[in-house]
Amino acid sequence: MAKRWDTLLVVLLLIAGFLLRAWNIATLPLGFSDEEITTLRLAESIRDGNVQVFFDTHPSGTESFFPILIAATKMIVGDGLFVMRFLPLMASLLTMALTFVVARRLFGRGVAFIALLAMLAGIWPIIAARTVTESALSALMMLVVLAAALKAFHLGRQIRPLSPTTGPYTVLAVAMAAAAYEHYTGLMAGIGIFVFVLYLRSTRQSVSRYLWWNSGYALLLALILALPYFISVLRNPTYSGPYIFIAERPSSIIALIESIGKTILGFFWLEAGDKNPAHNVPGLPLISYIEPVFLIFGIYGAVRLRRQANYGLLLIFFVLGLLPDMWLDKGPDYRALSFVSPLVYMLIGVGVFELVRFIKQSDIPISLSWLKKQQGRLAWPAPVVYLVALLMLLDFGANILRLRDNLFTNWSKRQDMQAAYHTDLGEIAHYLENNADGPPISICATPRPGTVADSRLLEWMLHRENIPFRIANCTSDLILTAGGSPMRLLFVDADERNNVPAPLLEWIRLAQPLENTSLPNGMGWIIDAEQALADMGGRLTTLNTLYYPRETGSPFETVGLPFRFNNSLTLIGIEPISDQPEFKPGDVLTVISYWRVDGPLPPDIGVFVRLHDTPQASPYNEINGFNVETKRLRPRDVVIQVGYLILPDTLRDQEYLLTLGVYEGRPTNQLPIFNPEAHQLRGNYLQISQPILINTED
C-alpha cells in the first residue's frame, strides 16, 4: 500500500513540475537567445548534410549532439517556439524522474522525495526546460551515467560484492561517451567514473574482484567511442567545446580565487547568481531561503560518510561538476553548472536528514526539555521531524512565490531579457501566428549583427507554415504590397521609424496605428497608398527622363516608362535627383527609384546607380543593393528604394552623368538592357538624363 502511495505522490510531483515548466512555454520567453539561434543555425547546417563533431562558434566550439536532435525534431514536427522547446521540456521531465530514481537508490525514498520537491520549483531547471541549447540535456546525461553506474557497480545505499555482467558496463561506456559528445561538461562524467573506481580501490570496498576488469573494459570502450571527439579536439582545438577552458581561463591566481568565490556565492547569495538574462533572472541565486542551510548540512553529511560508496560517488560527481564554472572567468554560469544541478538537490535531501540527526544529538535548552517527555505522535524526535518538514513546505511555498514574481511576472518585462531573446521579433511572430488572415503584411527590419536573417528567425518562431509576409530594410527600401492596396506595416522595433529616411517616411505618414493588437505601441500600422502610388506613377513618366546607351555623337534615345529589366522586375520611374544646378565635392545625391515586381526574382538581385564622366569608364562612386527578401515578394508589389551617393572630393569642374541598372549576384554581373520596340539588346545600363555639374569654386 505504501508503495502505491509513493508512486502516486511521485506522479503528482512530476505532473506539477511538468506544468511549471510548460506554463506559457511558447511565449515565455517570446523569442530565441543568441545561443539558441546558434543551435538552430547548426541544426539547419546539419540538415544540409554538414555533420561534424564540433562547429566553430567563437570563442570555442559547440558539440553537434544536441543540434542533431533539434534537426531531427525540425524534420519530423517543423518549426515554432513550442516545437523547438518540446525536446528540452521532455528532457527536463526525464531529469526530474531520474533524479528521484537515482536519489532513492542511493539514499532512500525520503531523500528522493525532498530532492524532487526542491528541483520541482528550482529557478534554473525551469529556465533550462525552456532553453534550446545543449545545457538543457547536460543534467539528464549526467544522471544517465549515474544510473548506469549504479546498475554496473551494484551500488545502492550499500555496494554489494556481486559478480559484474558485461551489459551494464557497456551501457555505462556508451553513456559516458554520449555525455562527452553532448557538452564539454559531460567530460566530467567519464572522469568521475574513473575517479570512483580509484576511490573503490583506495577505500577497500567490498566488491567483486572482477569489477576492476569490467571497469577497465567500460573506460576503454568509452575511450574508443569518443575517439572521433578527441581526434577532432587535436585537429582543431579552437573549434572544440573544451577549448572554452582556454578561451575563458582565469587571468591570474587572484582571478581564479574570485571565480571560485563567485561560483559558491551563486548558489545562495542574493544578486550573486548568473547575470546573463538568457540563463537566469539576473543575479537570482540557484537556491534560496532555507535551502542553502540544507545544502551545507548535506555536504557536511556526505563528507562525514565519505567512506560509504554512495556518498563517495555523490561527492566525486559534485566536486567535478563544480570545476568547470569555478575555472571559467565569467561565472557563475548556470550552463556550466547544469551538470551538477540534480546533485545539488540530492545534497539538499541529504542535508535535511543530516539536520534532523544533528538536532537529535544536540543538547536542547532546559526550557525546551519538555519536548523529550512527549508521548504518542509527539514523542521525541517527532517534533524535530515536524519542524524540518514545516520548514521544507514553507521553503517550497516561498520558491513557488519566487517563481511567480521573478520568472513568470517580472522576467519577461526586463529590457535586458527582451534584448537577449530578441522579443521584438517574437512579438511579430506571435502577431503573425494569430492574425495571418487580413491585409498583406510588410515588415520593416534593420539587419542585426549575426549570420541569420530576421525572416529566417521569424520562420523558426512560427508554428504555421506559409504565413505570407514581406520584409525589407526600411532605412533604404519600402515595400508597398499589391500596388499600394491596404496593407499592414510592422516595425520590428518601434524606434526604427525614426531611422526611416525622409522620402520613405512621407509614405509611412499615410499609415494609421493598428488597433486591438498584442503588439507594443508604435510597432503596428495599416496603410492604404494605392491612390497615392497611382498618382506618383503617372508623374514619374515626366519627372525624370532615361536614355538608352549610345555611341558618341549619336542622338539620345528615350526609354519608355515603365521599363522592364527582365521578366520579373520593372522600373516605374525615378524622382528628380535635385533641383540645384551645380554640386560640390562632398555633396550627397538622393536617388529615389520605384520598382514593380512582375514575377519571381533571383535571391541575389540588386540595383546599381553609378557616377561617371563617360559610361564606359570606371565609376567614381556607386551605390548597390536591393534590401528586400526577394523570395517573399509577389506580383504587383512595389519597392521604393532610396540611395545616397556621395560626390568624391577628387571630382573636377565638369559635367558627370548617372547610370542605373540591375545586377545579379555581384555588381559587375549586370543584366542586359533590351529595347522592346526595336527588339534589340542595348547594353547593360540606362542613363539618367539629369547631368551632375561639379563646381569646385567656393
pLDDT tens-digit map of 10-28 = 999 999 999 999 999 999 9
Q: What is the mean pLDDT of residues 361-370?
A: 66
CA gap 258, 266 in Å, rounded: 12
Among 193-197, 239-243, 403-407, 567-571, the range scoring the smallest mean pLDDT is 239-243
**Residue 190 in this model has a pLDDT that exceeds 70:** yes
CA gap 543, 546 in Å, rounded: 10
- Rounded to the nearest angstrom, the gap between the alpha carbon of residue 693 and the centroid of all alpha carbons in its chain is 52
Distances in whole angstroms, Cα of residue 158 to Cα of each of 153, 162, 482: 10, 12, 75
pTM reported for the whole predicted model:
0.88
Report the first-to-last Cα separation within the chain, whole angstroms: 101
Q: What is the mean pLDDT of residues 637-646?
A: 96
Residue 376 binned pLDDT confidence (cut-offs 50, 70, 90): low
Residue 639 grid coordinates: 519597392
So what's the pLDDT on residue 114? 95
Dihedral sign, CA of 274, 279, 285, 287? negative
**Residue 2 in this model has a pLDDT that exceeds 80:** no
At 527-583, the pLDDT tens digits run: 999 999 999 988 888 888 898 888 766 788 888 889 988 888 999 999 998 888 899
**8 Å CB contact between 323 and 266:** no
Task: List beta partners, residue 640.
Answer: 478, 594
- The domain segmentation of the chain, as residue ranges, is 2-413, 422-528, 539-693
Please give the mean pLDDT across all residues of the chain: 90
**8 Å CB contact between 462 and 433:** yes
Q: What is the mean pLDDT of residues 323-347?
A: 91
**Residue 1 in this model has a pLDDT that exceeds 60:** no
So what's the pLDDT on residue 322? 95
Residue 698 binned pLDDT confidence (cut-offs 50, 70, 90): low
Q: What is the 3-state secondary structure (H, E, C) of 334-397?
A: CCCCHHHHHHHHHHHHHHHHHHHHHHHHCCCCHHHHHHHHCCHHHCCCHHHHHHHHHHHHHHHH
Question: How large a percentage of the chain has pLDDT more than 90?
Answer: 65
So what's the pLDDT on residue 465? 81
Distances in whole angstroms, Cα of residue 441 to Cα of each of 36, 431, 462, 485, 672: 27, 11, 15, 11, 33
So what's the pLDDT on residue 542? 80
Burial class of 687 by CB neighbour count within 10 A (0 to 12, 13 to 18, 19+): buried
**Residue 254 in this model has a pLDDT that exceeds 60:** yes
At 588-636, the pLDDT tens digits run: 999 999 999 999 999 999 999 999 988 888 899 999 999 999 999 999 9
CA gap 421, 277 in Å, rounded: 9
So what's the pLDDT on residue 467? 87
**Residue 380 in this model has a pLDDT that exceeds 70:** no
Q: CATH classification of 539-693 is 3.40.50.300, yes or no?
A: no
